[in-house]
Amino acid sequence: MRDQRPRHHFKLFVAVACGWLLAGIAPVHAQGIEQWTRWGDAAMKRGEHYGATRFYDGALAIDGGRMSLQWKQAEACRLSHQYDRAAAFYDRVNKKDQGRTYPEALRWLGEMQMSMGDHGAAERTWNRVLQKEKDKSSFIAKRAENALVGCGLARTMRPDSAIVLEQLPKPVNGYDSEFGARIGPDSALHFASLRGKLNKQGEVEDTAAYRAALLRTALQQPWQAPADAGAAINGIGDNANATWSLDGRWLLFTRCDAGCRIHIAPIAADGVIGEASVLQGIGDEYTSTQPMIARWDDREMLLFASDRPGGAGGFDLWMAEFHNGSVRNLSPLDRFVNTPGNERSPWYDDASRTLWFSSDFHPGLGGFDIFRSTWGADVFAHPLHAGLPINSPANDLYPALFPGRNEFWLTSNRVGSFASKGETCCNDLYRFSLPTARKRPEILAESPSEQTKPEPRTSTEKLLAFARSFPVKLYFHNDDPEPRSWSNTTVQDYDACYARYKALLDEYTNTTADTDGVARFFTDDVDGGWKALAELEGILTNVLHEGRSVTLEVRGHASPLARTDYNRNLSMRRIESLRNHLRAVNGGGFLPYLNGTAANGARLKVKELPFGEERSASGVSDALSDTRASVHSVAAMRERRIEVVGLELANSERTQVGVRIVTNVGRLKQDEERRVAYTLTNAGSTPMMLLKSEADCGCTTAELPKDPIPPGGSAVVEVTFNGRAREGSLRRIVYVETDGDPFQFELVLEGEVVP
């Protein structure tokens, strides 16, 4: 999907073509509805979204019930970041239209509700989106799933008290839009600002000059008014996103004129910037923006955002080798980083081998959120959300880490930013000082020496954050391991299963007509699961080292080629292959925890939740004679897997309340009530009260015990599902808050709704 936000995430535009309209001094009916609409359409075409809302206001004042106008106003409000107004118009359109003419109205309503910080309403909206979407592999379905995870994050996440954000004051930030702070080789602050020429009344005088320009100011207080970077940079088009080559000889930046391209300009020994031109080797037929030059494993690399083909969709992050003023060997970043949505504003810190970036698709709080991903073994780890207060429900972009200055910078239009056209209209620059080593937050990567002695809390928090991206899916070739066996165990490990599966790539692509689909499945899903498992292993090492016991909950799937009881045994063999993998990986480092012989008493367990054919997706062929469909099709390949779906954390002495407790109840008759009991144990030294529960839909409720759970004691929570759901797979979550540790946990009910 193409990015529908303004080119640089500019948040506003003052429509001065009809100043008397904006001043509110003209009669509403002075012009006809068609004229107001044409003016609004023209403003939208020019990217003047705020101005367009004022013109559409004029049209709606004449005919407020016209649905086509309401849709245009919803889009204009969204693109000018008037989230509350956009949500109101999307809601009106959806209630009238029911997705017939404007199928994305409900999706955008959910996005706007998240950006407003109304995550409860957003969760209800996204559940409706997911229910209406028939294709569960579509962009909308995947976005809905991630958004629901993001709503859960908003409900449970607490701000890091060690981080104190500083909003830069005037004259650096203003009532327009400032973004993309970078500290240059001259030790000055460089950033872009969308500022027009003002008249004596403070109004934008010339809309043609209302452009983004690169500015510079000294990093000292009191802050001085920023100076223009000069005509060599700002003489043409919109200009932003400055970065410098490692030797300081080149300035790279984005220039948007007919399109957005990365430009490069030489820097003379005396600091004078020469004439800029399009960066050679990157091409000019696609949008390329937000460059960042980084040292990466002793190489000089360019990172940037682009909508060019070859990525995962929308805007993706790309990398290229930078050499002597040009680039070569362009490639998209790992698909764990890139998504079908939009990834923006990359920043790489070579010391911690960490990539920082923004995404509007990964599970976040709303709009663009900042994420980080660690580079290791030639792959990126699963991106982790940077947390609060770095992120907000609004847009958070342009992360920049400067360890030498002990500073982290970002750009945000969050509530509290300077604004004159709505509280979230405009970007401002923010920064915070990196906490000291003893108190530093999750965002700081440990050095190798520190990784062997993780600080208290940090590794556990990493595991909990990683668990939000569950399930981790591991895929197998048909009837592997131990083909044609009724055994429920195996001596083989997942390494061998993975290697055998990868070796069959040519066989699969040559057997199916969907060659591209199969190739993508091996790259995205088979390799993706392998990488996710590797990241999970790294986090588990630190958690177990701290003395925390971990139980991984794993369920199995199988394609419907064999009897259900055979598939159950096959699923158990596959889960056993994961145990064997954990016994062998990292030089046997997990063995003491798996065997119960670790000196600190910590345990690592794998709890099987095996399922057979009844869990297979409908429509998967079970015809053994047609292996193209039953073995080599992507649909069949997706079913041959095990999934790490949940985990429980415990102290080494006794069991603690789980982070996520999953119960599968099998088949559920539609409209028939089902009650499920969950047993919880308090491992703390003080009584624990279960304070309240909240379900992800009105069809599920929980009855909590009224008395506190004593230390070492247990209690039963009864969850009731009323049966009101559409046919197909079911997953309902009840969030329970406590007055102890953990402060919240999840009771997950899964099953299959049948008529």
From-to residues of CATH 2.120.10.30 in the chain: 172-196+209-444
Q: For 388-402, 526-540, 570-584, 604-618, which range has the lowest pLDDT when averaged over its residues?
A: 604-618
* Element spanning 93, H or E: helix 83-97
Q: Assess whether pLDDT exceeds 80 at residue 661.
A: no
Q: Assess whether pLDDT exceeds 70 at residue 553.
A: yes
Q: Assess whether pLDDT exceeds 60 at residue 14.
A: no
pLDDT of residue 214: 94
Which amino acid does the sequence have at 500? Answer: R
pLDDT confidence bin for 558, thresholds 50/70/90: low
CATH class of the domain at 19-156? mainly alpha
* CATH 2.60.40.10 fits domain 654-755: yes
pLDDT confidence bin for 277, thresholds 50/70/90: very high
CATH class of the domain at 172-196+209-444? mainly beta
* CB distance 104 to 132 below 8 Å: no
From-to residues of CATH 2.60.40.10 in the chain: 654-755
- Between residues 687 and 430, the one the model is more confident about: 430
The end-to-end CA distance of the chain, in Å, is: 36
**Bridge partners (DSSP) listed for residue 357:** 371
pTM of the model: 0.59
Q: What is the pLDDT of residues 81-90, one digit of tens each?
A: 999 999 999 9
pLDDT of residue 712: 77
pLDDT of residue 650: 65
* Alpha-carbon distance values, 669 to 500, 522, 610, 666, 696 (Å): 40, 36, 22, 10, 20
pLDDT of residue 659: 55
- Between residues 306 and 478, the one the model is more confident about: 306
pLDDT confidence bin for 632, thresholds 50/70/90: low
Pairing verdict, β 316-323 and 299-306 = antiparallel
pLDDT confidence bin for 608, thresholds 50/70/90: confident
- Between residues 157 and 98, the one the model is more confident about: 98
Q: Assess whether pLDDT exceeds 80 at residue 132.
A: yes
From-to residues of CATH 1.25.40.10 in the chain: 19-156
Q: For 201-205, 274-278, 300-304, which range has the lowest pLDDT when averaged over its residues?
A: 201-205
Q: What is the pLDDT of residues 419-469, one digit of tens each?
A: 655 566 788 999 999 865 433 333 333 333 333 333 334 577 788 778 877
**Cα atoms in the 13 Å half-sphere on the side-chain side of 506:** 1
* Element spanning 69, H or E: helix 67-79
Pairing verdict, β 604-610 and 548-556 = parallel
Q: Which two tokens stand for residue 165?
A: 């954000």
Region 598-605 average pLDDT = 80
Averaged pLDDT of the chain: 81
- Between residues 356 and 448, the one the model is more confident about: 356
Q: Assess whether pLDDT exceeds 90 at residue 95.
A: yes
Name the DSSP letter for residue 274: -
Q: What is the pLDDT of residues 694-735, one digit of tens each?
A: 887 778 899 999 888 888 788 889 999 988 888 887 888 888
Which amino acid does the sequence have at 430? Answer: Y
Region 400-409 average pLDDT = 93
Question: What whole-number distance in Å separates Cα of residue 436 and Cα of residue 459?
Answer: 17
